């Protein structure tokens, strides 16, 4: 299996002082101030230094249930359970560990989120990739042809990492219906649920009536609430998977840190108005990035997708993407992520992230990227 690309590129960037990173997918802001202020009420409570419930504290469970109903249209039925995890990646690992035996297949749209591919490989599963269109949208008929008797799940990530694509509601409904008909799970990763632009909207397949028996919905506070280091995510799972997931989580973690859960509950009480307010700055950065990338459109294909804070660029250069990333860092002090880590072996792709910095620094970083890429292209 591949090595984690983010720390590799991060190490290269640190070895070149002054490098601006357009690589890692984080946001520029931190948790809501009201959430951090809640720490004062956590410390003096007796018992907060002990283990908590494996599936999460009652306080956070209640806030998640209210959020799911209000923001996702998911009203939990008797056959469902919320499990609080240490971030969205752990939620995915829990799900894969619970449903995949060695040799089983999991369908990932290409390009895939690299940690998903790594998780399936770790448990002995087999990744089956399906192509997406030129606009990175998913075709349910292509997915249907990829399902075999060994398929255990179809994974969708919307808004998408690494492309930024927002899958249309009718597509997600079709994928969910296909999973029901073929007896496989639909794993819906919705870590970027609030990050949509230009009138696009996010849809949660878990809100489909009757889907609770085979839909696994994954969420995270890392992006929306600036919670990356606090490590809080959660999953909505069919009740029949709970015992298997509990074994995994209790073995690896026991329970997510109670202090992080306490602050997460306070963040959810602040509500979606907080990430939506921050989104204004990210939307400005997105527009600035798209404007600057026009300078390389003669040899760089840019699809202006409508979600997350990523753009996946196809560069018309006969360069190895990893070597190209190294040159951009060492010679032009700007870091991006090579497309090979997302399963793209045909062609030279680069993922650019614009969520981690304020607009002015994003503009400087993209300026370096454009100048560097243009200089390298001129060598042809």
**CATH number of the domain enclosing 135:** 3.40.640.10
Within a domain: residue 352? yes
CB-based contact 344:110 (threshold 8 Å): yes
Question: So what's the pLDDT on residue 273?
Answer: 97
Angstrom distance (rounded) from CA 74 to CA 208: 8
Q: How many folded domains does the chain comprise? A: 2
Angstrom distance (rounded) from CA 282 to CA 308: 10
Question: So what's the pLDDT on residue 288?
Answer: 97
DSSP class of 78: T
The token duo for 112 is: 């895939």
CB-based contact 300:315 (threshold 8 Å): yes
Same domain, yes or no, for 210 and 108? Answer: yes
Residues 132-148, mean pLDDT to the nearest whole number: 97
Q: In 288-303, which positions are buried (b, 16+ CB within 10 angstroms) versus exposed (e)? A: bbeebbeebeeebebe
Within a domain: residue 310? yes
> What is the pTM (predicted TM-score) of this model?
0.96
Q: Which domain holds residue 11?
A: 5-25+274-377
C-alpha torsion 79→55→245→343, nearest 10: 100
Same domain, yes or no, for 93 and 15? Answer: no
Where among 234, 251, 270 does a domain terminate?
270
Within a domain: residue 98? yes
Query: Which residue do the tokens 């649920």 mark?
Result: 193
With cut-offs at 50, 70 and 90, classify the pLDDT of residue 230: very high
Question: So what's the pLDDT on residue 318?
Answer: 86
In tens, the pLDDT along 245-256 reads 999 999 999 999
Same domain, yes or no, for 182 and 314? Answer: no
User: Does 56 have pLDDT greater than 90?
Assistant: yes
Same domain, yes or no, for 202 and 102? Answer: yes
Residues 100-125, mean pLDDT to the nearest whole number: 97
Same domain, yes or no, for 220 and 82? Answer: yes
CATH label of the domain that carries residue 320: 3.90.1150.10
Where among 270, 302, 330 does a domain terminate?
270
CB-based contact 224:234 (threshold 8 Å): no
Where are the alpha helices (H) located in 217-358, listed in sequence order?
242-252, 258-270, 273-293, 321-332
Percent pLDDT > 70 in the chain is 100
């Amino acid at each position: 299996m591949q090595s984690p690309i983010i720390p590799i590129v991060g190490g290269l960037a640190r070895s070149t002082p002054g490098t601006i990173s357009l690589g890692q997918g984080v946001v520029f802001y931190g948790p809501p101030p009201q959430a951090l202020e809640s720490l004062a009420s956590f410390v003096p409570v007796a018992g907060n230094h002990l283990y908590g419930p494996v599936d999460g504290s009652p306080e956070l469970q209640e806030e998640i249930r209210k959020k799911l109903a209000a923001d996702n249209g998911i009203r939990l039925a008797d056959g469902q359970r919320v499990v609080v995890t240490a971030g969205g990646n752990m939620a995915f690992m829990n799900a894969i560990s619970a449903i995949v035996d060695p040799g089983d297949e999991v369908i990932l749209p290409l390009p895939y989120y690299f940690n998903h591919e790594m998780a399936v490989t770790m448990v002995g599963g087999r990744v089956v990739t399906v192509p997406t269109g030129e606009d990175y949208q998913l075709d349910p008929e292509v997915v249907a042809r990829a399902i075999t008797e060994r398929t255990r799940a179809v994974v969708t990530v919307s808004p998408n990492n690494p492309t930024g694509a927002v899958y249309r509601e009718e597509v997600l409904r079709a994928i969910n219906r296909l999973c029901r008909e073929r007896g496989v799970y639909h794993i819906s990763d919705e870590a970027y649920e609030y990050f949509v632009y230009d009138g696009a909207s996010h849809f949660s397949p878990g809100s489909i009536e009757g889907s609770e028996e085979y839909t696994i919905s994954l969420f995270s506070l890392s992006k929306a609430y600036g919670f990356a280091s606090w490590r809080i995510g959660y999953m909505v799972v069919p009740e029949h998977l709970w015992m298997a997931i509990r074994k995994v989580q209790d073995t690896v973690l026991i329970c997510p840190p109670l202090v992080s859960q306490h602050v997460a509950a306070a963040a959810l009480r602040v509500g979606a108005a907080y990430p939506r307010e921050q989104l204004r700055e990210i939307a400005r950065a997105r527009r600035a990035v798209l404007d600057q990338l026009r300078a390389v459109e003669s040899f760089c294909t840019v699809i202006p997708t409508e979600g997350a804070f990523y753009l996946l660029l196809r560069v018309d250069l006969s360069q190895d993407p990893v070597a190209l990333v190294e040159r951009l860092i060492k010679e032009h002090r700007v870091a991006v992520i090579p497309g090979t880590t997302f399963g793209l072996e045909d062609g030279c792709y680069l993922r650019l992230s614009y969520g981690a910095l304020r607009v002015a620094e994003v503009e400087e970083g993209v300026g370096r990227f454009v100048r560097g890429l243009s200089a390298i292209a001129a060598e042809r």
